[in-house]
Amino acid sequence: MLRMGERGRRHTTRSPRNFLVFSVGGRRLAVKTLEVAEISPWKPSIPVGSRTPYISAVVRQDQAVLPVFDLASALRLCVQGNNPLCLRIKHPLGDMVMCIDEEMPVLHTLEPAAIQAYRGKDIPAEESYANGLDEIPILTISQLGSCM
């Protein structure tokens, strides 16, 4: 059996990961920065019929008409503030938007060791991280719009 010398071994170092932390109804959540397309002021939405859970409206942004994922309703919360923000995310099926609290989102960089499995079942999240006593779920964007 052949063994590799020290020079032949690959050191796998996982680099820090970047997240955008925002709030909906005062609850803090995170998404990977690579899945964020834009943050802008919220524009009034246009109700539409839909069979997709928590998608019942669209918003016009420039030339695009984007579905609204109602995360606040999915969490049974209300968006806080008089000037909510629009978080445009890159879903595998196409961009969509979420109305989030007016509190400005914050960028966080985390070491992989700080990320843990999310134990909750209330939102589509597989990972989370601890911030003091809070557990911040990291949304799995590809699961938004599926049954929650």
Query: What whole-number distance in Å separates Cα of residue 10 and Cα of residue 97?
Result: 41
The model's pLDDT over 63-87, given as tens digits with 9 standing for 90+, comes to: 899 999 999 998 999 999 999 999 9
What is the model's pLDDT at position 13?
60
Q: Is 139 exposed, middle or buried (0-12, 13-18, 19+ CB in 10 A)?
A: buried
The model's pLDDT over 83-99, given as tens digits with 9 standing for 90+, comes to: 999 999 999 989 999 99
Superfamily name with CATH number, domain 20-143: CheA-289, Domain 4 (2.40.50.180)
pLDDT band at 100 (very low <50, low <70, confident <90, very high): very high
Instruction: Please name every residue paired with 23 in a beta bridge, in sequence order, or none if there are none.
Output: 28
pTM confidence score: 0.84
Instruction: List the one residue out of 85, 101, 97 whose CA is nearest residue 29.
Output: 101
What is the model's pLDDT at position 14?
79
What is the model's pLDDT at position 7?
55
Task: List, edge to edge, every strand of the sheet that includes 134-139.
Answer: 106-110, 17-24, 27-32, 134-139, 125-131, 115-117
